[in-house]
Amino acid sequence: METKKKSSPKAEKQQTANGLRDLFTDGLKDIYYAENALVKALPEMHDQASNTKLKTAIKDHLAQTKMQVVRLEEAFGHLGMKAEAKKCLAIEGILAEGRETVGNAAEGPVRDAAIIGSSQKVEHYEMAAYGTLAAHAKILNEKEVLDLLLRTLGEEKKSDSVLTVIADTELNSQAAAGKHKSKDFKAV
């Protein structure tokens, strides 16, 4: 009768680390896809928005997202890997829902409120993804990659805050009141 050898705690830890590394690199591929999808989606949102502050925030976020793609490519390089995307079902779903919500909203403040809500869903997904990846990078002792991920995580949190301020400073109130034009709004 053959008996199974028990693996040593060190061997188990190594297996766990390899599993975590695979999870980590898979997550990087996922967020790389997501960021590239956003580079394509943000101009759509910009075109649909009517509030000048929102349009500026979207334009700024597009430039920032392009830099985040470059930063992810740098992270892959630190890991000795070529940047590779893996289809991100989460971002596909969030973007599809956002397009539907925005498409069904009346032009003006209501549509802008829909854009902000949809955009914040994206930001919250990104914050969760980057937070998880940063935790993995820390455990895997990937300091350079961790620094890159934390920088992007901070930007995502700031973008979410900017959207909240835009929504809270009149936009949601105007949407609730059914207003379609104001000094900050222009007809599309």
Arithmetic mean of pLDDT, 92-105: 96
For residue 170, the number of C-alpha atoms closer than 13 Å in the C-beta half-sphere is 12
Rounded alpha-carbon distances, angstroms, from residue 6 to 3, 12, 17? 9, 10, 18
Check pLDDT > 70 for residue 26.
yes
SS3 11: helix
Arithmetic mean of pLDDT, 95-101: 96
Residue extents of the structural domains in the chain: 13-177
Check pLDDT > 70 for residue 115.
yes
Arithmetic mean of pLDDT, 153-170: 94
For residue 83, the number of C-alpha atoms closer than 13 Å in the C-beta half-sphere is 14
Check pLDDT > 70 for residue 51.
yes
Q: Which residue has the tokens 């032009």?
A: 107
Rounded to the nearest 10°, the torsion over CA 152, 150, 129, 17 is 140
Percent of the chain whose pLDDT exceeds 90: 79
Question: 13-177 belongs to which CATH class?
Answer: mainly alpha
